[in-house]
């Protein structure tokens, strides 16, 4: 294959040297080293597996909103529910007459239509309505009329600390106040700080569990969250110790475990204020603080579990004093009612919520995240997805929702591009080439402007380019193949095997991590397999 000159910014895809990775190769010829096969469709063997020692007991599944205390100390789920519902409704919250809260063995506290309801719950009927005065967030620390809390934080701390850190510290202080806290009926229904198995997200798993995610594309996110949380706690303590009044005492009460707990509570159940609070509440914020600089907890409202296929609305009433959850489908008696946390991949759900969505024929949620190399944190437009199934498969719902570059429905996309977000493919091509080259590389006779650009994209994605343009097509494919191979190499180099082979003896987190590793592997291997079906691999694979 002839050389393709790297365009400006090529180091964002291949590193600072700007060296293009390799020529595209047939699948059976791909190697990570001269003597070590990297991937084989018939028998994928991890090259240097680590051994995973099975534990004698399994960790119970996460149960959000249900305390994980032992039987003697634990409040029964029905009493936890009743305490929470009674408190919320006594302060103006309402549940639809046909809706109740129950404890599900798999999802913890959940909404459902009462089994003995006389009629279904119709689409967009309000499931729950919560006065915004019951919410818990940064607002309660800084806005006088929102202060249900008596655990006031020093003014100097409020001015200096990040709003999201203030919210977490406030949550900790309210928890430490016990039954004296206005929010105690809500707090007693949350996973409790001492029961880390009930709330700890992957960044806070024990080392022997967290290491099972090494080599996956969540490893960097885990390290960043862990580092950020440690830094935030250290800085918060320093600010509190330097403040007057209650500051030093609050600093002394802060432990790493409590701050991690607060982080996980906000991560797993908070909402964006701009979506659930009124403009008037936003106007009351201190100067320089915007509505989405922090997140907000909505007691009772947050019981709804996640279904990414469900149409939902979070509606403020006319006065902006209450937020309602409305779900856009009919629910029959006994049926669980879900919320929707927005389109999030299993990688994002694992990091931020501690669970993943199972694959079905109708829906999958397994994607590998790919980021361009940038000095600053990548923008959303600089992060792309590689999918378990082709983009055009009906079950690839999330990737279609993320794509900004849409192809014509009748475009016959090359196998090399079928699992890759189209925006990433075109970004690589535009990085390899210069804009003024496009007309020469992919002629669009008789067309101009957007029509010509659509024509070029169609020809490129379907492989219908010739001459010099084909060289750019091949190099784009080679870059994608190179990236997929890099990810698979990292996964293989950190692979594990189970001693004794008894998966039932693993902890919940170990099972979750191994499940995620397998999902990552299937995404990457499936992408390579589909790439190998293109004739372009046969045409380009002769010369090694």
Res 46: pLDDT: 33
**Which has the minimum average pLDDT: 139-148, 172-181, 356-365?**
139-148
- Report the alpha-carbon distance of residue 327 to residue 325 in Å, rounded: 7
Query: Which residue from 482, 538, 514 is spatially nearest to 10, judged by alpha carbons?
Result: 482
Res 37: pLDDT: 28
**Which has the minimum average pLDDT: 16-20, 231-235, 243-247, 380-384?**
16-20
Res 147: pLDDT: 61
Query: Which residue from 218, 223, 247, 250 is spatially nearest to 349, judged by alpha carbons?
Result: 218
Beta strand 50-52 with 496-498 is parallel
- Number of domains present in the structure of the chain: 2
- Report the alpha-carbon distance of residue 359 to residue 522 in Å, rounded: 12
* Shared-domain flag, residues 45 and 83: no
* Shared-domain flag, residues 280 and 369: no
Q: Is the pLDDT of residue 374 over 80?
A: no
Residue 88 belongs to some domain of the structure:
yes
Strands in 305-454 per DSSP E = 312-316, 322-327, 336-337, 367-371, 383-387
Confidence band of 244 (pLDDT split at 50, 70, 90): confident
Residue 65 belongs to some domain of the structure:
no
Q: What secondary structure does DSSP assign to 120-157, as a single string?
A: PBPTT-EEEEEEGGG-EETHHHH-GGG---S-PPPHHH
- The token duo for 16 is 């600072």
* Shared-domain flag, residues 243 and 293: yes
What are the tens digits of pLDDT across the range 165-202? 999 999 999 999 999 999 999 999 999 999 999 999 99
423: left (phi over 0), alpha (psi -120 to 50) or beta: alpha
Sequence-ordered list of residues with C-beta below 8 angstroms from that of 480, at least 6 positions apart, any chain: 416, 417, 420, 424, 425, 428, 531
Average pLDDT, the chain: 86
Task: Answer with the residue of higher pLDDT: 260 or 29.
Answer: 260
* Shared-domain flag, residues 94 and 43: no
Contact 186, 299 (CB under 8 A): yes
Query: Which residue from 252, 205, 260, 206 is spatially nearest to 232, judged by alpha carbons?
Result: 260
* Shared-domain flag, residues 398 and 518: yes
Q: Mean pLDDT across the stretch 321-327?
A: 97
* Shared-domain flag, residues 328 and 437: no
Q: What secondary structure does DSSP assign to 79-106, as a single string?
A: HHHHHHHHHHHHTT-EE-TTEEEEEETT
* Shared-domain flag, residues 372 and 310: no
Contact 488, 521 (CB under 8 A): yes
What are the tens digits of pLDDT across the range 467-483? 999 999 999 999 999 99
Query: What CATH number is attached to the domain comprising 130?
Result: 3.90.1410.10
* Shared-domain flag, residues 209 and 296: yes
* Shared-domain flag, residues 138 and 229: yes
Confidence band of 138 (pLDDT split at 50, 70, 90): very high
| Order of all β-strands in the sheet with 136-137 | 136-137, 296-297, 270-271
Predicted structure pTM score: 0.86
* Shared-domain flag, residues 186 and 321: yes
Confidence band of 534 (pLDDT split at 50, 70, 90): confident
Confidence band of 395 (pLDDT split at 50, 70, 90): very high
Q: Is the pLDDT of residue 538 over 90?
A: no
How many angstroms separate the Cα of 333 from the Cα of each of 53, 104, 122, 512?
A: 45, 15, 11, 32
Task: Domain of residue 120: give its range.
Answer: 77-337
- The token duo for 321 is 């004093």
Res 540: pLDDT: 52
Confidence band of 75 (pLDDT split at 50, 70, 90): very low
Which of residues 305, 337, 369 is at a domain's end? Answer: 337
Residue 66 belongs to some domain of the structure:
no
Residue 349 belongs to some domain of the structure:
no
500: left (phi over 0), alpha (psi -120 to 50) or beta: left
Res 24: pLDDT: 57
Confidence band of 315 (pLDDT split at 50, 70, 90): very high
Res 41: pLDDT: 28
Residue 233 belongs to some domain of the structure:
yes
Sign, Cα dihedral of 262, 264, 268, 271: positive
* Shared-domain flag, residues 368 and 426: yes
Residue 350 belongs to some domain of the structure:
no
Residue 352 belongs to some domain of the structure:
no
* Shared-domain flag, residues 249 and 302: yes
Residue 346 belongs to some domain of the structure:
no
């Amino acid at each position: 294959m002839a050389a393709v000159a790297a365009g400006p910014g090529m180091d964002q895809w291949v590193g600072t040297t700007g060296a293009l990775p390799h020529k595209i190769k047939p699948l059976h010829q791909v190697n990570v080293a001269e003597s070590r096969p990297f991937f084989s469709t018939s028998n994928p063997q991890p090259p240097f597996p680590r051994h995973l020692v099975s534990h004698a007991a399994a960790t119970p599944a996460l149960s959000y909103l249900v305390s994980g205390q032992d039987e003697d100390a634990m409040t029964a789920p029905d009493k936890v529910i009743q305490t929470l519902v009674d408190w919320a409704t006594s302060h103006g919250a309402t549940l639809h007459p046909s809706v109740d809260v129950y404890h599900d063995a798999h999802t913890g506290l959940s909404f459902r239509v009462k089994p003995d309801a006389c009629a279904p719950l119709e689409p967009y009927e309000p499931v729950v309505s919560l006065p915004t005065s019951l919410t818990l967030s940064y607002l309660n620390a800084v806005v006088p009329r929102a202060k249900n809390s008596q655990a006031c934080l020093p003014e100097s701390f409020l001015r200096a600390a990040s709003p999201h850190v203030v919210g977490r510290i406030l949550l900790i202080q309210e928890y430490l106040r016990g039954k004296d806290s206005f929010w105690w009926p809500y707090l007693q229904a949350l996973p409790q700080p001492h029961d880390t198995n009930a709330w700890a997200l992957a960044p806070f798993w024990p080392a022997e569990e967290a290491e099972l995610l090494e080599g996956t594309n969540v490893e960097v996110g885990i390290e960043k969250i862990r580092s950020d949380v440690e830094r935030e706690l250290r800085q918060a303590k320093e600010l509190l110790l330097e403040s007057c009044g209650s500051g030093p005492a609050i600093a002394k009460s802060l432990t790493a475990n409590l701050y991690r707990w607060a982080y996980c509570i906000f991560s797993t159940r908070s909402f964006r204020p701009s979506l659930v609070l009124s403009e008037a509440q936003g106007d009351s914020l201190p100067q320089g603080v915007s509505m989405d600089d922090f997140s907000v907890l909505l007691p009772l409202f947050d019981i709804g579990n996640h279904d990414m296929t469900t149409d939902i609305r979070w509606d403020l009433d006319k006065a902006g004093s209450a937020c309602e959850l409305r779900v856009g489908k009919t629910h029959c008696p006994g049926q669980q009612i879900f919320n929707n946390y927005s389109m999030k991949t299993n990688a994002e759900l694992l990091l931020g919520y501690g669970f993943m969505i199972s694959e079905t024929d109708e829906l999958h949620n397994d994607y590998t995240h790919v980021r361009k190399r940038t000095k600053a944190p990548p923008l959303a437009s600089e992060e792309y997805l590689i999918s378990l199934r082709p983009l055009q498969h009906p079950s690839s719902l999330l990737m279609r929702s993320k794509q900004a570059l849409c192809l014509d429905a009748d475009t016959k996309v090359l196998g090399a591009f079928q699992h890759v977000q189209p925006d990433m493919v075109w970004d690589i091509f535009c990085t390899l080439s210069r804009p003024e080259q496009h007309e020469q590389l992919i002629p669009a006779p008789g067309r101009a402007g957007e029509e010509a650009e659509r024509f070029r994209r169609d020809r490129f994605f379907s492989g219908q380019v010739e001459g010099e343009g084909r060289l750019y097509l091949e190099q784009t494919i080679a870059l994608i193949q190179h990236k997929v191979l890099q990810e698979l190499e990292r996964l293989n180099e950190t692979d594990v095997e189970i001693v004794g082979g008894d998966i039932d003896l693993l902890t919940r987190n170990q099972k979750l991590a191994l499940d995620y590793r397998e999902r990552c592997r299937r995404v990457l291997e499936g992408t390579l397999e589909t790439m190998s079906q293109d004739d372009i691999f046969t045409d380009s694979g002769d010369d090694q």
